[in-house]
A and B are shown apart, each in its own frame.
Chain A
């Protein structure tokens, strides 16, 4: 459509200001990537405790610590991306509730509080800290419930970016949840070294299916996106053919999705845990690339 218009008009911008360039840079990619791990491991811990309670009990504390670390990476990079980071407190004192940023900031704060409470109930240190698995498991249920909107709010935020047609709901919602399942299962495969092969294999299935679903959605966007809107078609040109981000896009699709799917299949044939771990590492690395490409390409399009 864009090509046809340009061919018909022969119109060229001959004087204008420079385009603003990338407004949300790689800092935001790390934000999304780290949040996927931070909430994803909580989903996976819940799954393991329900299905493999005897062997996953000792994962309560390390998983909680991993979640705390990655949620703080997410928060740190969110803060670093602000042009006025010292005014972050405005979100809590002047909240604007129509904004997904505000809602997300509040939910993430409560989520962090719950994670610290989980850490309290799962830590053991002399007479000061005593484990309380029953309290942990009760609290974990509510933490998992909150982890769902914490995972999804970034999709709402991106859909509020009305200018970027590529990010509209509900596709981004599905991709955020799949990213959390993929990152969570991959991290737990690496973290749960003492888990049985069956438990790890089931995490591999979650990883593989998440990768497959995410891959299908991205490919559907690539093929059918231009039919939705002229703007989406123009954005997708950046990842097609000789597009500026085409190579990076396909590297991401292979490393995050296709290779892990292949490796998980191979690991099931040979019951190989090392191949499964390689799939997990590739999925985590590839997820960053995939997220980055999808974040950057709509920002390359002139808005005016």
Chain B
């Protein structure tokens, strides 16, 4: 079994439901994100459009983060998920530097690396990842890439524009996009203007309202 993700960008409407579900399910601290939806506006007024791209760990088959981790805190599960053992992590941030997708961050509360695990704990209980359940338009498709009749395999077989991010890195991501353009999948194809980042001024790790 090799689990994978596919996001149909034709369907995604940028509601950020997946983002919130992920934060709640995994208790992701403020100012950090395992999954986020990036908005990119394309074109010149009045010929403009807004694109939405959910970004999470790609669970690469050839994961640079797993390779660089000095203590195997990042490791493969039998189902292909790149999981993280936060008790073992020494916080060297090598994985943060190695990930070509910017999917790993240092958790400000545990001071260890953290990232999307495809909700490995839910998957172990035969449940879908929280983001899949929360998506109102079923843009997130999750399943076994080795099973030819799984939803994700059928989606990949029936769509001609299936892409991965940064294929030139040779990481073989288990995370696919349908309907993605250059501006959505290539971070260098869009400008980042100061002031459009979400919660980027947060300096505290305290939850809103302080300790409970």
Which A residues lie at the B interface, using CB under 8 A? Answer: 2, 5-6, 9-20, 23-24, 81-85, 87-88, 90-91, 94-96, 98-102, 105, 157, 160-164, 229-231, 234, 299, 301-304
Contact = CB atoms under 8 A, between A and B. Distances in A.
How many B residues touch the partner, as a band?
35 or more
B116 interface: no
A80 to B, nearest CB: 11
B118 interface: no
Contact of A83 (B31, B69, B111): B111
Contacts of A164: 97
B169 interface: yes
Nearest to B39: A15
Contact of A84 (B89, B165, B196): B89
B100 A18 contact: no
Given A15-B196, A99-B67, A161-B97, A90 B88 contact: yes
B43 A10 contact: yes
Given A6-B191, A160-B68, A304-B187, A16 B198 contact: yes
B198 A12 contact: no
Contacts of B192: 12-13, 16, 19, 302
A303 B40 CA distance: 15
16 contacts: A9-B182, A17-B31, A17-B33, A18-B199, A23-B106, A24-B93, A24-B97, A84-B90, A99-B69, A157-B68, A160-B98, A164-B97, A230-B188, A303-B99, A303-B102, A304-B165
A5 B89 CA distance: 39
A11 B68 contact: no
B102 A304 contact: yes
A96 B197 CA distance: 36
Nearest to B89: A84
A16 B70 contact: no
B91 A82 contact: yes
Contacts of B187: 301-304
Looking at A12, A16, A231, which has the most chain B CB atoms within 10 Å of its CB? A16
A153 B83 CA distance: 26
Contact of B39 (A16, A99, A304): A16
Contact of A302 (B36, B44, B94, B102): B102
Given A16-B198, A17-B36, A90-B88, A99 B188 contact: no
B98 A96 contact: no
Contact of A12 (B70, B98, B190): B190
A304 B40 contact: no
Contacts of A94: 71-72, 88
A228 B74 CA distance: 30
B42 A162 contact: no
A83 B106 contact: yes
B64 A13 contact: no
B191 A83 contact: no
B96 interface: yes
Nearest to A105: B70
B140 interface: no
A234 B190 CA distance: 12
Given A83-B93, A94-B88, A14 B39 contact: yes
Contact of B190 (A9, A23, A102, A231): A9
Nearest to B87: A87
Given A15-B38, A83-B111, A162 B171 contact: yes
A90 B90 CA distance: 7
Given A14-B39, A20-B105, A161 B70 contact: no
A272 to B, nearest CB: 44
